[in-house]
Amino acid sequence: MSMAYELYYWSGIQGRGEFVRLALEDAGADYRDMNREEGDSAAAKLMAQSETPSFAPPFLKDGEIVVGQTAAILFYLGPRIGLAAKEERWRLWTHQIQLTIADLVVEAHDVHHPLGPGRYYEDQKDEAKLRAEEFRAQRMPKFLDWFETVLARNPAGPAHLVGAVVSYADLSLFQAVEGLAYAFPQRMGVLLGNYPKVAALHDAVAERPRIAGYLASDRRLKFSTDGIFRHYEELDARD
């Protein structure tokens, strides 16, 4: 009898846990969202005595194994749930793309917390405006350009980031585009037209039956200004 995967992540936000949820949902995997079932102390309880204590959620428990760090969780899960190639070279490339999405996620967070996670947004609003200007003008195009290039150079065609079938990296790119479009609707409205392959992949993921079902369910929380991607009107603009 195989046990359900146990996901531990803050119960009130999409956050980094959402990248793992999308993979589990798309695969139709048996999993439990532990903090939602047992409260946010579930994560800390598991880590209190662990020999492999994660620095922060999300982490995933699979029997004896506990893995933390979003990209490492997906690296572990990918081949097990049919969302990554098993051949080392392509498995590593998928992971590398995921790590670059993780870098984008850090920067998207830094936009509203340039002075660090310890101060409220309201206390670093002016600095956030400056950081957002650079993020919109330079960083968003740089990342989107890279994703478009990866799709264009995929020898199996531009429908997927790696090979000819879906991987967790495709699902994560969908989520990154969703997050950016929520946080920066004006900027993404201008930019996304320049990245047709990224836009097409985003739309195709949204139409995958299990993903569409998940997005319409109450398991999918809404984006909010408690999460990583945050919409503050003053941080968005067309340029």
Task: Using the minimum distance from each CB to its own copies, give the nearer residue, 40 or 127.
Answer: 127
110 binding its own copies? (CB under 8 A): yes
Site residues for its own copies, window 68-107 (CB under 8 A)?
Answer: 68-69, 71-72, 75-76, 89, 92-93, 95-96, 99-100, 103, 106
**Choices 26-34, 108-116, 165-173, 207-215 (CB under 8 A): range interacting with its own copies:** 108-116
Closest by alpha carbon to 175, among 151, 142, 147?
Answer: 147
Residue with Cβ nearer its own copies (12 or 53): 53
Which listed residue (1, 2, 65, 209) binds its own copies by CB under 8 A? 65
* Interface with its own copies: number of residues (CB under 8 A): 45
> Considering the complex, what minimum distance in angstroms separates the CB of residue 234 from its own copies?
16
Q: Coil, strand or helix: which one is 190?
A: helix
Applying CB under 8 A, which of residues 30, 80, 86, 134 lies at the interface with its own copies? 134
Residues 83, 35: Cα–Cα separation, whole Å: 24
Residues 179-238 interacting with its own copies (rule: CB under 8 A): none
Query: Interface with its own copies includes 64 (CB under 8 A)?
Result: yes
Question: What separation, in Å, do the N-terminal and C-terminal C-alpha atoms of the chain show?
Answer: 54
Specify the pairing of strand 65-68 against strand 31-33: unpaired
Q: Residue 59 pairs with which residues in a beta bridge?
A: 8, 68
- Report phi then psi at 62, rounded to 5: -130, 90
- Asked if residue 90 lies in contact with residue 37, where contact means CB atoms within 8 angstroms, the answer is no
Q: Determine the length of the chain.
A: 239
Give residue 4's Cα distance to chain centre. 22
Tokens 């039956």, residue? 209
Q: How far is the CB of 21 from its own copies (least distance, A)?
A: 19
Told to check if 165 binds its own copies by CB under 8 A, we report: no
The DSSP code for 136 is I
Tell how strand 65-68 and strand 59-62 pair up: antiparallel
Note whether 62 and 36 are within 8 A (CB).
no
Residue whose CB is less far from its own copies, 173 or 211: 173
The answer to whether 149 contacts its own copies (rule: CB under 8 A) is yes
Residues that bind its own copies (CB under 8 A): 50-55, 64-65, 67-69, 71-72, 75-76, 89, 92-93, 95-96, 99-100, 103, 106, 110, 114-119, 127, 130-131, 134-135, 138-139, 143, 146, 149-150, 153-155
